[in-house]
């Protein structure tokens, strides 16, 4: 190997080590919520435009829903889907909407329909955040 080839390989190594990894652009956040005796934990990797992570809802003495979340962020609203195994049964997918207000995330509810075989909130109908079953607060580090 000649000196030019060696320098070229070193340059490629330096550039690749300094290039930003897509995951490094995301901020890691952990949220928890309690409603009556039900609990929920939401672990998010979040940036200005997108989020992904894990969501687990535990129902008191009835099991849990556990799976992945992902979606887009527009302003103070996180919209996407929750793909999960319900109480250890089969896989399900439901739409997810969270409103960020006062350092909390409010879980939205609305009318769900199917579009191209994917569940989503019905366009033109409101998503309700005022009576959220789960209000997520950032977990203390």
Angle at 97 between CA 132 and CA 116, to 5 degrees: 135
d(CA 80, CA 94): 9
pLDDT at residue number 8: 56
pLDDT under 70: residue ranges of the chain: 1-24, 88, 141
pTM score, whole prediction: 0.78
pLDDT at residue number 86: 84
Residues whose CB is less than 8 angstroms from the CB of residue 116 and which lie 6 or more positions away in sequence, other chains included: none
Structural element, H or E, at residue 49: none
pLDDT at residue number 3: 67
pLDDT at residue number 19: 45
- Cα 53 to the chain's mean position, in Å? 4
pLDDT at residue number 18: 47
d(CA 97, CA 130): 13
Determine whether 84 is exposed, middle or buried from the number of CB atoms within 10 Å of its CB (0-12, 13-18, 19+). Answer: buried
């Amino acid at each position: 190997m000649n000196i030019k080839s060696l320098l070229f390989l070193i340059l490629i190594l330096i550039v690749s080590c300094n290039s930003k990894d897509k995951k490094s652009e995301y901020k890691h956040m952990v949220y928890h919520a309690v409603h009556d005796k039900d609990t929920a934990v939401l672990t998010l990797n979040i940036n200005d435009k997108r989020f992904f992570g894990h969501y687990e809802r535990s129902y008191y003495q009835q099991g849990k829903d556990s799976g992945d979340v992902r979606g887009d962020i527009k302003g103070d609203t996180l919209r996407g889907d929750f793909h999960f195994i319900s109480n250890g049964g089969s896989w399900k997918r439901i739409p997810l909407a969270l409103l960020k207000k006062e350092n909390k995330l409010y879980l939205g509810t609305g009318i769900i329909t199917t579009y191209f075989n994917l569940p989503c909130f019905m366009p033109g109908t409101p998503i309700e955040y005022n009576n959220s079953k789960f209000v997520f607060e950032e977990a203390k580090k």
